[in-house]
Structure 1
Amino acid sequence: MRRATFRDQTVDYAAVGASQAADLLQYPPENSIPAVQRWRIGSGEERFRSASDTLLSWTVLTGAGLEVTDVRPSAGPSYTGVSFDGEGHPVAPARHDEDQRFTPDGIAYVSAGATAHVHGRARGKKANGDYRVIFVAEEPRRTAYALGTVDATIVSGEVLFSVDWRDDDEVWFEVRAFDIPVAWSYRAWRGRVRRRRRLLNTAYLRAISPLFA
């Protein structure tokens, strides 16, 4: 059952920001199942800009079949999110917005510290939980953000979405995640966690790739 006070809570797992770790697959957070998948989704600046907007407008989730509701920016101006470099050292956020951006439907764009409720089905797999945006990065050739569970009902953990415009002009989409089973059926059969993640990631790819437009 969803808690009405979840916005005052921290995330419900310990390894905040671990989805960014270069060795996530080798050394995942305790009791978690890691996953890293990446796909080439085009080339050029226009493709990068379009995919970045798909990320930050929540369309990578809604286009996958999920519903994002009750989006609220961070209540405190001091919250900047958590981000780390390749060696695990914290780094400052890449961008500060003075004015909050909104989708045509009036939903606030992704911002560090924001909270949202995500529910529905993507590729037949159910999602239902409250999330906090761990960090947002908007750089000249990379856009990324991570979501962490606040009050998980199926799996706890973190998922990171990123779009990279590489030096060879190719644009790549990557999903990095670690899932800790919460629901009894997933704790009993951990293979279901892996299958769920694969199907969700495929749905996210379909939402962002022009091949499926």
Structure 2
Amino acid sequence: MTAGLSYPEVGATRGVLPPGYHHITRSAAIGRGATDFRRAAERVLNWEVQRRSGLAVSATGPVSEGADVILTIGPLRAPARVVYVIEEPRRAGFAYGTLPGHPECGEESFVVEHLVDDTVQLTVTAFSRPATLLARLGGPITRLVQRVITDRYLRVLSQS
């Protein structure tokens, strides 16, 4: 499953993010209670965070470990592979890692949690660095695009 990924730190979004990358860890409350948690978990595990954020998703089905996906926004294609899936009573989500051809190299996770205070929270965690000349030349613009997409990810599940 890890063969072909464009970075060596596979699974690192589960814990300490590796040095040498740009790091993002952002969370937002997206609902309350078990019903909101189940709805959010189903959406996360069916690529809805990406679709609702304006990305085209070409995947063979729902999220599953080892599944490949191509995310597209405008002319940019970003191939990735699901490197782990979480399906627990109060946590659900997954991470994908970049494949060759992705403008960045690294990993991004999307985890929904039903917290003890009944809040439902989405956390996006990522580490990345430019993998292509265009991404390197983009510098601050590349980071701005990443910030805008992350903001969208955190907003879309709080909307019905």
TM-score of the pair, normalised by structure 2? 0.90
Question: CA deviation digits over 1:16-73, x for unaligned, max 9?
Answer: 111122x43xxx343x11111000111100000010011011111111111111x24x
Structure 1 gaps of 5+ residues are 1-6, 73-107
Structure 1 segment 198-213 matched on structure 2, within 5 A: 198-210=147-159, 213=160
Which residue of 24, 43, 50 corresponds with 1:61?
50
Deviation per CA, 1:152-201: give whole Å up to 9, x if none.
34211110000000111111110000111123243245433432221111
Corresponding residue number in structure 2 for 1:20:
14
Structure 1's consecutive aligned runs of 4 or more residues displaced over 4 angstroms after TM superposition are none
Does the Cα contact within 8 Å between 1:66 and 1:127 map onto a contact in 2? no
Q: 3-state DSSP class of the match of 1:180?
A: strand
SS of structure 1 residue aligned to 2:69: strand
> Helix, strand or coil for the counterpart of 1:65?
coil
Cα 1:127–1:38 shift into 2, 3 Å = farther
Q: CA deviation at 1:129?
A: 1.6
Cα distance in 1, alignment partners of residues 4 and 25 from structure 2: 25
TM-superposed deviation, 1:128: 1.4
Task: Please identify the structure whose Cα radius of gyration is greater.
Answer: 1
2:22 to 16, 24, 33: 33
Residues 114 and 55 of structure 1: is their aligned pair in 2 closer, same or farther, counting only changes over 3 Å?
Answer: same
Q: Supply the distance in 2 between the matched residues of 1:178 and 1:127 (Cα, whole angstroms).
A: 19
CA–CA separation in structure 1 for the residues paired with 2:22 and 2:126: 8
**Between 187-196 and 162-171, the greater mean CA deviation after superposition:** 187-196
Q: What RMSD over aligned residues (CA atoms) do the two structures have, in Å? A: 2.0
Partner of 2:129: 180
1:141 corresponds to? 90
Counterpart position of 1:44? 33
Equivalent residue number for residue 114 of structure 2: 165
Identity value in percent? 32
Q: 1:127 to 1:19 in 2, by over 3 A?
A: farther
- Which has the larger share of strand? 2
Please give the alpha-carbon distance, in whole angstroms, between the structure 2 residues aligned to 1:164 and 1:55: 11
Consecutive unaligned residues of structure 2, counting only runs of 5 or more, are none
Distance in 2 (CA, whole Å) between partners of 1:60 and 1:33 is: 21
Pairs aligned (count): 160
- Indicate the structure with greater helix content: 2
Cα separation, partners in 2 of 1:152 and 1:18, compared to 1, 3 Å: farther
